[in-house]
Amino acid sequence: MFLRAVLRNLQAKRKVIVGGFYVSEKGFSRSFSNHVMGKNGSMDNTTQLKVLSLRECSYLDYHGYHSARHHVCEEKSSSVEESLDPFSLVADELSAVGNRLRAMVVSEVPKLASAAEYFFKMGVEGKRFRPTVLLLMASALNAPVVQGATEGVFHGFSKELRARQQSIAEITEMIHVASLLHDDVLDDAEKRRGVGSLNFVMGNKVSVLAGDFLLSRACVALASLKNTEVVTLLATVVEHLVTGETMQMTTTLEKRCSMEYYLQKTFYKTASLISNSCQAIALLADQSAQVSCLAYDYGKNLGLAFQLIDDVLDFTGTSLSLGKGSLSDIRQGIITAPILFAMEEFPQLDDIINKGFDDPSNVDIALHYLGKSQGIQRTRELASEHANRAADAINSLPESHDEDVLISRRALVILTERVIKRTK
Amino acid sequence: MFLRAVLRNLQAKRKVIVGGFYVSEKGFSRSFSNHVMGKNGSMDNTTQLKVLSLRECSYLDYHGYHSARHHVCEEKSSSVEESLDPFSLVADELSAVGNRLRAMVVSEVPKLASAAEYFFKMGVEGKRFRPTVLLLMASALNAPVVQGATEGVFHGFSKELRARQQSIAEITEMIHVASLLHDDVLDDAEKRRGVGSLNFVMGNKVSVLAGDFLLSRACVALASLKNTEVVTLLATVVEHLVTGETMQMTTTLEKRCSMEYYLQKTFYKTASLISNSCQAIALLADQSAQVSCLAYDYGKNLGLAFQLIDDVLDFTGTSLSLGKGSLSDIRQGIITAPILFAMEEFPQLDDIINKGFDDPSNVDIALHYLGKSQGIQRTRELASEHANRAADAINSLPESHDEDVLISRRALVILTERVIKRTK
């Protein structure tokens, strides 16, 4: 219901480009059913390839039309993306989630007002990526209206379920920011994404406390959902965040130079939160084990793709040139995918890594080899592979003809593309 | 069952003093039933006052024999306490709990071995006070054997319940140590109880991480109990610990000098953990709301008494003289009960507190007024009041004739006395 309202707003404001001409999104959706599916519901591949928009990719059985889908999707993506913005789709809800989070933090512990302020500085995280994914996942898994259920009863259930799923989005954001706050203490980071880190401004005391506070609020909110499976999933996430951070602290050269170790660490530090919370969204909706796994797979692969690109951007920044990023990882001696791939071509890097990066000239030498290697490109390719796997998970969800469900699934696929293309 | 085994060990080693002559504890217990209860089960007050040992106090209806009980308890306490040591009663189980905790921390995250080492240095905490209380509470609330249940079935259930209650003891210890580790970061404390604080030895990085790790393990263990009420109770504790720490950071003179504010903070920082975990023990055993509340009241009042004495010892140390303690609170500007009581007699202290304690001469002036006041004595009296309330809660539990239950209840009462008498 809420997505339809958003959609109406979108329709009032703009048109959607499909196959080179403008139609209203709602209008296209209707004409699509008649045009592609035919009267008996069978599909004509030629027609399909001609008129298929991004959104409608999910109507297809994923495995049968894999290559065709990818071809069409790539051709149309840039124009359609302008119209279907995943963040706009859940803007109202995101705003409500944000308000609730702000109220939870500010009202009960005035002393932590400064932490709350940091928490809500948009510069820290840009858009609310995780809650957006989770709200879209909630809509993407929306069960069809139960036959025979009265509108009132179903609506009540649906509203309650949505509130519980929103709660998962809030909990996830709290856990995420708590880990940022504690990571800031750990890394002694002076700056995070251009916004003064809290521990730089306020000292370690407030950072640790604010992180603990957010974690405790997350625990209380989690407990109030009264779903032990969901509690276990998100408790495990907190453990993974710590394990990931611990793995990153390793001083063993063998582990620091292992791609397998790096990917495991990346899963723990970045992908576990979003994958487990996506699964929690599915569990709350009483989805099957298979659907819950697909939700988890989406989150896991999106998270890995996100971090791989993050690791590229640490070297390139917004430009495509090496050394334009903040280089914060390598300067801290954290070896990420681009360097790991470069090492396969230039084993000399092993020696540099062993010497450490306290000496800035060692950073320059590493960048020199990285520039000569396929490290950046192979990292991007690996990120794309994970992004595709995330999209595959969405496209493998049980068929649905519900308009809101399909829009949300499409938005989730668009996010996998955005993650790869982002420059900041 | 396990208590009986411990009891057998005790019997083999020593005798119990009762009414001025030695009898074996088991022997006394049997003769007590015949002697005091009479053939028809009625009591003779005179006989009872003559031979009543500490352990048997709990046979009495608390309200009817309140003053008599106190009189006899005080008379006999020193000699009987030597024999009934609360810590020995659960020594084997405590050792198992400790081993499990050690295994959980060391085996899965080798990097945190140093944190584990800190975690298990007995010097940090002395005896495992909290797990001891919780295991004794578990025995004290033990339900009578269900009529008609086969030994096997009941024993299986009882064993599983005990394992879940042990888990609460482990979780509580993890939350407690996590808060110590984070408090060390917060306070930048160089030493804690003579053992080098972890952050002093290893830096803030490991302290924060080790605390987070313990918290996350606690969350996972908590979730695995699959009892949402218990999850809520202990999640609330984590929030209280943070709230208490935040309250302690207040810079408002009015709040820092308010007894009400101080007691609320003390509840959050110290008493919430033990009170809520005592209640969790009761909830797992499916006890009534009334019994759960009594368990909570015991923990709350024991925790408050413990902290009030801690605040006294910060001034006096092991001796009775002022200034022999570490004075760590007042040096950090933390105003505790002894000073708050002293302020009622010497309002001049207000001005000193306002000036702060960065200047050591202000500490001396505060000690001067404290020495002239009843501050220390009144704090001890308040602690005793809470200790008595804790004992009252135990003595208000539903009547039981089970030997293990009664020994455990007596041990819990002895702990309330030990808390008041302790000098370190």
pLDDT, tens digit (0-9, with 9 covering 90-100), for A211-256:
898 898 898 899 899 998 999 999 999 989 988 988 887 778 888 8
Chain A residue whose CA is closest to B186: A205
The answer to whether B107 contacts chain A (CB < 8 Å) is: no
Q: How far is CA A61 from CA A37, A57, A65, A365, A396, in A?
A: 13, 9, 6, 49, 8
- Name the H helices within B52-203: 66-83, 86-89, 91-108, 113-120, 122-125, 129-140, 151-187, 198-202
Q: What are the boundaries of each domain within chain A? A: 2-84, 88-317+377-421
pLDDT tens digits for range B306-324 = 999 999 999 998 777 777 7
CB contact under 8 A, A239 and B220: yes
Residue B250 contacts A where some CB pair is shorter than 8 Å: yes
- Per CB-CB distance under 8 Å, the chain A contacts of B238 are 212, 215-216, 219
Number of helices (H) and strands (E) in chain A: give both, helices first: 23, 4
Can you identify the CATH homologous superfamily of domain A88-317+377-421?
Farnesyl Diphosphate Synthase (1.10.600.10)
- List pLDDT tens digits, range B110-126: 656 666 566 655 434 55
Pairwise pLDDT comparison (B305 vs B19), residue with the higher score: B305
Percentage of chain A beyond pLDDT 70 is 67
Residue A235 and residue B222: Cβ atoms within 8 Å?
yes
Spatial CA neighbour of A271 closest among A246, A239, A245, A296: A296
Cβ-proximal residues to A405 (8 Å cutoff; 6+ apart), any chain:
A139, A140, A141, A142
pLDDT score, position A217: 86
DSSP for residue A326: -
The pLDDT of residue A9 is above 80: no
Kindly list the residues from chain A whose CB atom is less than 8 angstroms away from the CB atom of residue B108.
243
H runs (alpha helix) in A43-127: 45-51, 66-83, 86-89, 91-108, 113-119, 122-125
Residue B350's alpha-carbon distances to A305, B74, B342, B344, B382, in angstroms, are: 59, 39, 10, 10, 22
Average pLDDT over residues A34-55: 31
**Token pair listed for A87:** 């963040």
CA distance B108 to A236: 14
Q: What is the pLDDT of residues A386-416, one digit of tens each?
A: 999 999 999 999 999 999 999 999 999 999 9
Residues of A in contact with B227 (CB under 8 A): 228
H or E stretch covering A192: strand A191-192
Q: Quick one: which H or E segment has residue B417?
A: helix B403-421
ipTM above 0.85, yes or no: no
Coil vs helix vs strand at B289? helix
DSSP state of B267: I
Q: Which of A43-52, A77-86, B204-213, B348-357 has the lowest mean pLDDT?
A: A43-52
Instruction: Tell me if chain B has a CB within 8 Å of the CB of A245.
Output: yes
Whether the predicted pLDDT of A192 surpasses 50: no
**Tokens, residue B184:** 């060390």
| Chain B nearest CA to A251, separation (Å) | 10
Could you tell me the pLDDT band of residue B332, with boundaries at 50, 70 and 90?
confident
Between CA B107 and CA B415 the distance in angstroms is: 34
Locate B72 and state its tokens: 């006899």
Please answer yes or no on whether B220 and A226 come within 8 Å at the CB atom.
Answer: no
Amino acid, res. A356: G
Task: State the pTM of this model.
Answer: 0.75
Average pLDDT over residues B380-384: 98
Inter-chain CB proximity A235 and B220 less than 8 Å = yes
AA identity, residue A202:
M
d(CA B186, CA A207): 9
